[in-house]
Structure 1
């Protein structure tokens, strides 16, 4: 059977697009097992030594743990703030709704380095006016990361709520369900794909953030992106590729497990 030109062109475009996205990931995983002490092609051999080397470096271990803590805290707080905001934007009509929606999504529009320096200056002003130190503290770093994860939560949860049939919630209340019961048993399950997707993307954005951490991390502390940047300043071996490969598999595993129980495609 002859394949139409349009179908063939469409399949080719899809394949090239996927290859464009996946090829860099495959390259990173491949480089992580090179035996070369300096990354170069072709490889002289293959080894898992660089994974062991990454684990033995204190900066990578402590950086991973700090990034993980900050990402978990920022994701949790981002959900606490973003879910009520999404519910209001999706279900209520009030003056200034468009302005608030733009304000909540604005951190996605600001260049990362500009946002990092802006948060740093803002925290300095707070310290000058109130004496409360946020720069170079863990709470300050978490607050900065909450700011960058809120847009993801608001955008994805709001999309899930808007794509659902609002009449289901009205029917539940007409049958005697209280607003709280309706929220827990109807609204939250409807928004679950958006909640999971928002939480996952929030964790990823916070965990991989460099700019806010670079301005706000305290002395003697380092996040994983900063540890990678510092290592690359003096080394060109595949250790960083090994660290990146671990990140790729962790994030990929989380996405696969989440999609197994919650279809993330329903959140978009």
Structure 2
């Protein structure tokens, strides 16, 4: 009884701390969604009433529409490209031991450790040097922006795929090979369908690219705009709930992607 009573204050302190962190994360998101329905033309509390016209207003603005479509296009392309590079890398790192394995893994995961503005500046300067050397333009192009966003997505794809491969029994693949299937057939018909992290990896790559601001600021080029840049530009001159409506849509898209990802890979066990 004494040990339980001594542990109780510590346990309550721990629970309070955990709930404080959860509220710290959720309250800003809930507030954003709440404010998106205010009828106030200027952001202020308390609300004068509620309306959904700000969502219509957001969609009527060309900057938000074009920014959404460009962000969606780049995010899809970058996540698919990251998957094409991440699958063979995950198979090599997760299944085989070879010299330089840890180094390659560190290099592929490095975009998570390098500050985004530093990485964006480095990629921009690399594109400029590449254009001088080869006369091929990558800076200020959609495919150049997509390649840069693929670098953001690769670490998420790699991490989720390696975690999924760790739970896949190699005996299943060995059984396929012993029955006469080639390694390529085994990969496409056995290994690939049994890796749940593929769907989660693509969705996480999409999330990382869709919400990126720093690299897009440096690489998007004139005449184009992504959704985060459109939101930043809007905030310079206006303070109505339209920006909250756009943020609400962005939050909902990311939330749906996370829910679908968790269906395939238990994110709490992976991260």
- What TM-score does the superposition give when structure 1 sets the normalisation length? 0.91
Cα separation, 2, equivalents of 1:158 and 1:258: 15
- The match for 2:113 is 109
Cα separation, 2, equivalents of 1:97 and 1:255: 30
1:50-106 CA deviation, whole Å, 9 max, x = no partner?
Answer: 111101100000000000000010011010001100000011121111111111111
- The match for 2:252 is 249
> Where does 1:1-268 land on structure 2 (aligned, <5 Å)?
5=8, 11-192=15-196, 194-260=197-263, 262-265=264-267, 268=270
Instruction: Give the stretch that moved more between structures: 127-136 or 158-167.
Output: 158-167
Cα separation, 2, equivalents of 1:254 and 1:89: 26
Cα separation, 1, equivalents of 2:204 and 2:230: 22
- What TM-score does the superposition give when structure 2 sets the normalisation length? 0.90
Partner SS for 1:39: coil
Relative to structure 1, the CA distance from residue 178 to residue 224 in structure 2 (aligned partners, 3 Å threshold; closer, same or farther) is same
Q: Is the 8 A contact 1:156 1:267 kept in 2?
A: no
1:121-162 CA deviation, whole Å, 9 max, x = no partner?
Answer: 000000111111111111111111111111111111111112
Cα separation, 2, equivalents of 1:185 and 1:47: 51
What is the Cα deviation at residue 256 of structure 1?
3.0
Structure 2 regions of 5+ residues with no counterpart?
none
Q: Is the 8 A contact 1:89 1:97 kept in 2?
A: yes
Relative to structure 1, the CA distance from residue 178 to residue 7 in structure 2 (aligned partners, 3 Å threshold; closer, same or farther) is farther
Cα separation, 2, equivalents of 1:8 and 1:166: 44
Cα separation, 1, equivalents of 2:187 and 2:211: 33
